[in-house]
């Protein structure tokens, strides 16, 4: 199948960990539906990545189903794209081990996310967390990927993927295509509503710090109203205005208005007025997705059928790449 694909190939994955928040949507997922219009898109629920932290088995199964339903609600089309569960395609783990033999310890030790997550969970600094970028590289390289839509916080992982692929190719020839990252122009890093110097996170114990894709309209409005700003009461960018800048970035991503345009539009208006407009824009974006998600969760048979078909297609493509890799390094007679 891979040799028959004429459009640019896009790969992206997302972990099934506790639902999707606004940062996931604006950082990457908003573009998933758009990308499949002109590209051949391969989207994965990367459950192997999620087990670097301890999970309840039944809860993880539910999260995987919820993730698939939300991606379909966001507009991922089984007719245009492949949607599958990472762990159901064994080539991901197989290629990850091979690529780990072509990745330097020092390169992995410099990964910012490893340092951050290790400091936050010192009781569980496992090898999987350390080699996480290698598995991500395998996810991408398996499919002759041209483009990888990710949030700004994943730049380092895209770069190490390119380093690993180039190193492998320099030894064995042009086995892997060298992918390019695709980053959102605005809201690439959606910040916490409670602490605008920290990234919005679904693991934040403060529920008011984040907006979830399943939040009801009243909850969205209340969270935006409580968002931390400053005492200046002017809708503009500047030093010490991280909170209002974050809301401006969010509003820009929802409305496609530039930050300069937003400053002009709200000149002379107060934070209360602006927050109401931000909440309205978020509700317009999230409400239809949330309602579609609810419908899909009532039709799990359909969701599972999409994942089964996606698995079969992903296996067909990835097995071609694994054969090429194994032949290159001398594995398998």
Residue in the structure block whose two tokens are 């969010």: 250
Residue 231 exposure: Cα atoms within 13 Å on the Cβ side: 0
Catalytic residue among 30, 63, 117, 223: 117
Q: Which residues contact 138 (CB under 8 A, 6 or more apart)?
A: 91, 92, 93, 95, 96, 98, 99
Whether 177 sits among the annotated catalytic residues: the reply is: no
**Which token pair is 248?**
């401006």
Give the H or E element holding residue 26: helix 22-27
CA distances (Å), 112 to each of 69, 117, 132, 164, 183, in order?
31, 9, 12, 17, 18
202 catalytic residue (yes or no): yes
Q: Which two tokens stand for residue 304?
A: 């599972």
Contact 20, 59 (CB under 8 A): no
Q: Which of 318, 289, 161 is nearest to 220 (CA)?
A: 289
DSSP per residue, 168-181? HHHHHSS-S---EE
Catalytic residue among 199, 223, 241, 275: 199
C-alpha distances (whole Å) from 59 to each of 21, 70, 264, 301 are 18, 16, 47, 18
Residue 185 appears among annotated catalytic residues: no
Marked catalytic residue, from 30, 63, 202, 241:
202
Residues taking part in catalysis: 117, 199, 202
């Amino acid at each position: 199948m891979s040799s028959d694909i004429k459009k640019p190939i896009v790969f992206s994955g997302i972990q099934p960990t506790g639902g999707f928040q606004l940062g996931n949507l604006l950082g990457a997922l908003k573009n998933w539906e758009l990308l499949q219009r002109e590209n051949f898109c391969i989207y994965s629920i990367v459950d192997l990545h999620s087990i670097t932290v301890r999970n309840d088995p039944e809860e993880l199964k539910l999260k995987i189903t919820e993730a698939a339903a939300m991606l379909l609600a966001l507009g991922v089309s089984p007719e245009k794209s492949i949607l599958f569960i990472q762990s159901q395609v064994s080539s991901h783990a197989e290629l990850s081990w091979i690529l780990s033999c072509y990745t330097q310890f020092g390169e992995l030790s410099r990964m910012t996310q490893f340092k951050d997550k290790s400091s936050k969970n010192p009781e569980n600094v496992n090898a999987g967390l350390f080699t996480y970028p290698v598995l991500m590289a395998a996810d991408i390289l398996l499919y002759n990927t041209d483009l990888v839509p990710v949030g700004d916080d994943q730049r380092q992982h895209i770069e190490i993927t390119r380093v690993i692929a180039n190193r492998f190719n320099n030894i064995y020839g042009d086995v892997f295509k060298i992918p390019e990252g695709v980053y959102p122009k605005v809201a690439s890093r959606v910040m916490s509503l409670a602490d605008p110097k920290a990234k919005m996170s679904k693991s934040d114990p403060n529920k008011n710090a984040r907006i979830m894709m399943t939040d009801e309209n009243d909850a969205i409005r209340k969270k935006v109203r409580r968002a931390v700003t400053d005492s200046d009461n002017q809708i503009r960018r500047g030093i010490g205005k991280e909170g209002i800048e974050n809301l401006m970035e969010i509003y820009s991503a929802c409305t496609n208005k530039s930050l300069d345009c937003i400053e002009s539009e709200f000149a002379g208006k107060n934070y209360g007025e602006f927050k109401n407009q931000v909440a309205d824009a978020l509700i317009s974006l999230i409400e239809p997705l949330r309602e579609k998600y609810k419908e899909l969760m009532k039709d799990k048979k359909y969701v599972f059928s999409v994942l089964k078909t996606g698995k079969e297609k992903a296996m067909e493509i990835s097995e071609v790449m694994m054969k090429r890799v194994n032949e290159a390094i001398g594995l398998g007679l």
